[in-house]
Amino acid sequence: MVDLSVNLNGFKLQNPIMTASGTYGYADEYDDFIDVSKLGAIVTKAISIEPKKGNSGERLFETYGGMINRIGLENLGIEEFISKKLPILKEKNINYVMNLAGSTVEDYIKAAEIAQSAGIKAIEVNVSCPNVKQGCLEFGTNPNSLGHLTSEIRKIYKGFLIIKLTPNVSDIESLAKSAEDNGADCISAINTLKGLGVKVEITPDKKIKKTFVQGGLSGRCIKPVALSMVKRIKAVVNIPIIGIGGIANIEDILEFLTVGADAIQIGTENFCHPDITIKLINELTKIIESLNLESLDELKRKLRDE
């Protein structure tokens, strides 16, 4: 039997395949397609203290190799998540990480307190969403602000603490180091890139109709940026890294493992192929077997040493 297990600083996964926040709902929404309990973990939609309606108007724009979204962190709020979704996760034995978003330091601290009280063993702090007017990206682009936020959450929350970084910066190394120095157990990278979708249509009556969607770009087109960012982060931190960005096949996973990722999250590809996660778990097993290896750890060493 191939051992696909991953130990991320004490947070244990049965395999390295996770799902990215915002692409997999809160609990068992993908049960019609796969057995969600077979995944390494799911990461919930970003959850805030109070419910959020998100942005109005057009929210999605398909583009070459990906999509742009401006959902705006629509979610049911942390209290409803705990009362309605958490029981499902526990009943179905689904490993999960709760993604947290806030507008102020106080928002994050309150959410961390609630997560701690509810026994939630892993949280991913969203400091990288480009689609909200306050919070998130404000913390994720400044090392001092990020360090302060991380340390304040760390004082409250004793579980596994992931900081999710944005690619919309010039110096991701200083941000990753600040997160590590102030108590983060793990880095996840990257979130979406800022992008603009434009559509120009000429109507039958010769008028021009224009559509603009400015938001977060995700999908296969961002993979080279994500690989670069993960490699740069790996050079400056000692904590585990979860790689995210354009992962759609087994070759993508091997590339992320090579540059330093310890686990990966799949996002946009879930919308195209809802069963992609299970397929990739099976393909990863076959790759390891074909190399006459016994574990994911051995594969990582081979990819990085040769």
Strand, helix or coil for residue 99: strand
Domain spans in the chain, listed from the N-terminal domain onward: 6-56+71-194+218-305
| Count of H-run helices and E-run strands, the chain | 11, 14
Would you place residue 306 in the very low, low, confident or very high pLDDT band (cuts 50, 70, 90)?
A: low
Using one digit for the tens of pLDDT, what is the confidence trace for 222-266?
999 999 999 999 999 999 999 999 999 999 999 999 999 999 999
Q: Residue range 4-16: average pLDDT?
A: 98
Question: Is the pLDDT assigned to residue 131 strictly greater than 60?
Answer: no
Residue-wise pLDDT for 71-100, tens only, equals 999 999 999 999 999 999 999 999 999 999
Asked if pLDDT for residue 158 goes beyond 70, the answer is yes
Using alpha carbons, select from 303, 305, 278 the residue that is nearest to residue 291.
303
What pLDDT shows up at residue 128? 73
Secondary structure E strands in 72-170: 96-100, 122-126, 160-164
Active site residue 129: yes
Catalytic one of 129, 136, 186, 221:
129
CA distance 222 to 227: 9
Q: Is the pLDDT of residue 174 over 60?
A: yes
Confidence at residue 136, expressed as pLDDT on a 0 to 100 scale: 58
Mean confidence (pLDDT) of the chain:
95
Q: For 6-56+71-194+218-305, CATH number? A: 3.20.20.70
CA distance 233 to 241: 8
Per-residue confidence band for 139, with pLDDT thresholds at 50, 70 and 90: confident
